[in-house]
Amino acid sequence: MPLVKSGSRSSAPLRMIILLILGSLSFPATVNGQSRPIEYTVSLVQPQTQMVDIAMLVRNVAGPTLDVALPVWRPGRYALIDPSGTVRDVNANASGRSLGIEKLDKTTWRIDTAGASEIEVRYRIYANSLGDRTRHVDDTHAFLSGSSVFFYVPGRLGDEILVRIEAPARWEVATGLEPLGSDPRVRVSPDYHVLIDSPLEIGIHDTLAFDIDGTPHEIVIWGRADYDAERLKEDFARIVRRQAEVFGDMPYDRYVFLIHVGAGAGGGTEHLNSTIMQTARRSLEDDDAYENFLGLVSHEMFHTWNVKQLRPAGINPYDYRQENYTKLLWVAEGTTSYYDDLTLTRIGVLTPDDYLDTMSNTIDTLRNRPGAAVQSLEEASFDAWIKYTKPTPDSVNSTVSFYNGGAMASLLLDTELRTRTDNQATLDDVMRQLYRDFPLSGTGFTPEDVVAAFDALSGTDFDPLFERYIRGTDRYPLEEAVHVLGLELVFEPDADDDRGEADNSSEAAEKPYAGLNLSTRDGATVVGSVLSDGPAYPAGIISGDRVVAVDGFEVSVNQFARVVEGKRPGDTITLHLLRYGQLRTIDFVLTSRPAGRWKLRRLETPTDDQKAAYESWLGQPWPGDGGPR
């Protein structure tokens, strides 16, 4: 059955269709007989210098002054990045006559209009920021994410926009923006919000095209790799189809996957009907690395619904002048993280065993992070601007990731909903309901709306659970929660522990524990972070200390670990340190921690209901039971 496109999700796709139809009929760049209110010309005449020239034409100007500004952050990254720091040579003119211009603050310029109704603003941008996926230009391409490139006029974010591109003749344009007519170098946008949520990849790249029920998709690859084109198209399509089944539609008329391939590249950013992903060459050539890359694809694709359409209050609509606060990044990012590898398991890219191992590692990491007992998920979401994106050496002791923490909270909520409804309702139903109830055209959903969705689907009160685990910092009771899926969460001793298998950490063997994370820096062994649940913390060892010797002997990072492993809990260890050039000696007594890891595994004798829940969760059969139910 074809997937239905929902026209009620947002007016943007409909307006873009209208613009495309007008363009195909060779109409001039006008709206209702008038020129478009705002036009940009992007000039890449010397891309080897990493400079891009922008001309912004603003029509229908009224009043003695006109303000223009650049956003201070980029949607999808909850940090002030202040891209205006790379802006140069801002000037303004009216019909070639120079106008007075004054910079008001770090990101705003005020123009003396001198009575002109049409003003051109010109400026240059140094584009050398590839890793943060904002702007990068060289002799092979230009990647331009709109929020770090295009000025806007405050109060006129709804104006329709035209973008002209001037670039080397053999360069091609890839973007979620629609072309005007047959010229791919002229693109249109219904408003500024869509413009900056539609990054431009202009240059020399490969393009792979595929359709899903008549909806075109493109994979655009900049950088060299020996990839299997048919495999990419097939796997991407399977991801899209499976996630569209969760929400019930595809909220776009065309989708573009932008991929940058290069050494050291990694990460991705979701956009309205496109995404930009960066990865190493081996991700497209090595099977194991390819699976990890598909996890990124799955994550960014799920954002097409969860964030780009279903958006929390506080970040809908975006305010480009300042931080946008929400307590719901644990849903926006954490629930998306829960679904990325889950999707890969449902379509058969990951085996159930591999998925359970991945989840086990996340649980183990979370339970060994002191900050998980200090900061709630709602606090982590709200403070993303000042804590998550600005980590300190003490972050491990004071913060929790709304990505990993939110993913495990999503597992808890999914299993609890299944338990209360005899597996008749799942987190899929919650996401679909929120998606239908809170279209992008609205004001966004609140924490109370999330609780209400669980209440309505279960006929029970979920607020106490949210109070303890979402607003509070109680440890998730996953040992009991996962039973509904035919699973158990146990603490497995290390392989060299001869005590045998234990069911919980209190019965497991203990190992010596210092609570230090070390790294090698400039050939020296340096303290990176000191965990507050270990003995090094109260002993006064701090981040940045250089470990000269342990018990009188010089050690590397690995040698230090072996020294600790060779001792017993209760033994004293002596560290010789350099701190600001001064030699110091600190003794402390090693404590202990369980020797092993948390692990999810299937029950040996599950009930039929548990096997059915497992199969509906993973979309895969219980081992030995044949095909899926």
H helix intervals, 421-555: 427-437, 447-458, 463-469, 478-481, 536-539
pLDDT confidence tier of residue 495, bands split at 50, 70 and 90: confident
Q: Output DSSP code: residue 202.
A: E
pLDDT confidence tier of residue 624, bands split at 50, 70 and 90: confident
At residue 15, does pLDDT exceed 50?
no
At residue 3, does pLDDT exceed 90?
no
Per-residue model confidence (pLDDT) at position 509: 85
Strand ranges across the sheet with 65-69 = 65-69, 108-112, 101-105
Q: Assess contact for 175 and 40: CB atoms under 8 A.
A: no
How many other C-beta atoms can be found within 10 angstroms of the C-beta atom of residue 601?
15
pLDDT confidence tier of residue 508, bands split at 50, 70 and 90: low
How many other C-beta atoms can be found within 10 angstroms of the C-beta atom of residue 462?
21
Residues 6+ apart with CB under 8 A from 375: 383, 387, 398, 399, 400, 473
Q: How far apart are CA 56 and CA 92, in angstroms?
A: 9
Per-residue model confidence (pLDDT) at position 496: 64
Q: How far apart are CA 468 and CA 87, in angstroms?
A: 47
Q: How far apart are CA 94 and CA 113, in angstroms?
A: 8
At residue 26, does pLDDT exceed 60?
no
**Both structure tokens of 36:** 């478009």
Give the pairing type, strands 38-43 and 161-166. Answer: parallel
pLDDT confidence tier of residue 505, bands split at 50, 70 and 90: very low
pLDDT confidence tier of residue 36, bands split at 50, 70 and 90: confident
Q: What's the pLDDT tens digit per position in 121-178?
A: 999 999 999 999 999 999 999 999 999 999 999 999 999 999 999 999 999 999 999 9
Per-residue model confidence (pLDDT) at position 598: 97
CA-atom Rg of the chain in angstroms: 27
Q: How far apart are CA 276 and CA 267, in angstroms?
A: 9
Mean pLDDT across 67-90: 95
**Both structure tokens of 592:** 């202990």
**Cis bond before residue 71 (omega within 30° of 0):** no
Report the SS3 class of residue 383: helix
At residue 32, does pLDDT exceed 90?
no
Per-residue model confidence (pLDDT) at position 497: 53
At residue 469, does pLDDT exceed 90?
yes
Query: Which neighbouring-strand residues pair with 121?
Result: 56, 92
Q: How far apart are CA 512 and CA 499, in angstroms?
A: 17
pLDDT confidence tier of residue 33, bands split at 50, 70 and 90: very low
Q: How far apart are CA 514 and CA 222, in angstroms?
A: 46
Residue 332: its H or E element:
none
Mean pLDDT across 464-477: 98
Q: For residue 340, which of 307, 299, 303, 306 has the smallest C-alpha distance?
A: 299
Q: What is the 3-state secondary structure (H, E, C) of 43-70?
A: ECCCHHHCEEEEEEEECCCCCCEEEEEC
Average pLDDT, the chain: 92
User: Residue 599 corresponds to which amino acid?
Assistant: K
Per-residue model confidence (pLDDT) at position 27: 35
Residue 397: its H or E element:
helix 395-398
Q: How far apart are CA 109 and CA 458, in angstroms?
A: 53
Exposure on the CB side of residue 298, measured as CA atoms within 13 A = 26
Q: How far apart are CA 146 and CA 42, in angstroms?
A: 11
Q: How far apart are CA 356 and CA 608, in angstroms?
A: 20
More confident site: 143 or 503: 143
pLDDT confidence tier of residue 28, bands split at 50, 70 and 90: very low
Residue 158: its H or E element:
none
Q: For residue 64, which of 115, 99, 118, 98 has the smallest C-alpha distance?
A: 115
Give the percent of the chain with pLDDT over 70: 92
Q: How far apart are CA 142 and CA 171, in angstroms?
A: 9
Report the SS3 class of residue 337: helix
Mean pLDDT across 532-554: 96
Q: How far apart are CA 625 and CA 621, in angstroms?
A: 6
At residue 377, does pLDDT exceed 60?
yes
